[in-house]
Amino acid sequence: MLHPVGPLPAAVYWRRRLLALGCAVGVLGGGGWLGAALASGSPDGDATVAAPSNDAARTTPGLEQVVPSLAAVQVPTAAPSSAPATSEAPAAEVPAGPTAGGPCGDDALGVEVRPDPASAPVGSKPTFQLVVTNVSPAACVRAVDAALQEIILIDGAGDRVWGSNDCFPETTVEQRTLQPGETVGFPVPWSGLTSEPGCAAGRTNPPAGTYVLRGRLDTKVSPDATFTLT
């Protein structure tokens, strides 16, 4: 066996033996692998790969075939408003007036001085009127004490010449209920002489000329009124 005999060279017989031996080893190895596979199941486990069906093999439809085009979808629009558009600004809020029967604030009152007559001779003793009006839409109450009423006389240079409370202030206490639009007049006499607060300075007749009368009821001040001494 180890020394082949034949007409061919010895190397040829060795190659044949090696080839036969390799085939035998391959057959034995394949048989062993097949036996192990049968004993333990499929080498890939029990999972099997299903062949693709005809439906899966079909081409997936494009997105535009599944979702309709946005241009083809009708979007509902809001119905046009029947109310006409306006650019007018909201009305400004009107300040609330006094409560009916409550106190009259300064905003609820109008105060003015009425010189009657509008002129008087130097040294005369005219009487002026302090007029108070409820300009609010509701009745209200206001203190009209004599000490709260005052009229002053101012010359052309802006200097105070006389004041009704300088020398003979009154101390009456009074409240008035003023109806809407109601006007009340309070007479204020003038001696025709100059004065200062407290009446400490000497008193004289102011000269002829044009003066200004300014009145007040407590904190509510009137506009100026013109008065002439002749």
Q: What pLDDT digit, counting tens, does each position of 136-179 carry?
A: 999 999 999 999 999 999 999 999 999 999 998 888 889 999 99
pLDDT tens-digit map of 53-82: 554 445 445 544 544 554 555 545 555 555
What pLDDT, on a 0 to 100 scale, did the predictor assign at position 210?
Answer: 97
Report the DSSP beta bridge partners of residue 196: none
The tens digit of pLDDT for each residue in 103-122 reads 999 999 999 999 988 999 99
Task: Give domain limits for the chain.
Answer: 1-43, 106-229
* Distance between CA atoms of residues 202 and 60, nearest Å: 118
| Confidence band for 18, pLDDT divided at 50, 70 and 90 | confident
**Mean pLDDT along residues 176-190:** 95
b/e string for 96-115 if b means 16 or more Cβ within 10 A?
Answer: ebbeeeeebeeebbbbbbeb
pTM of the model: 0.57
β-partners of residue 128 are 115, 188
Whether the per-residue pLDDT at 213 is higher than 80: the answer is yes
In the numeric block, which tokens belong to residue 193? 């002489």
pLDDT of residue 26: 66
The yes-or-no verdict on residue 194 having pLDDT over 90 is: yes
pLDDT band at 21 (very low <50, low <70, confident <90, very high): confident
- Average pLDDT (31-51) is 52
Kindly state the helix (H) or strand (E) to which residue 142 belongs, with its residue range: strand 140-143
Q: What is the DSSP letter of 48?
A: -
Which residue, 164, 160, 166, 138, is CA-closest to 151?
164
Q: How far is CA 83 from CA 78, 80, 174, in A?
A: 14, 9, 57
Of the pLDDT bands very low, low, confident and very high (cuts 50, 70, 90), residue 49 is: very low
Q: Is the pLDDT of residue 189 over 60?
A: yes
pLDDT, residue 132, reads 97
What fold, for 106-229?
A: Immunoglobulin-like (2.60.40)
Q: Which two tokens stand for residue 42?
A: 């499929």
Instruction: Write down the pLDDT at residue 96.
Output: 55
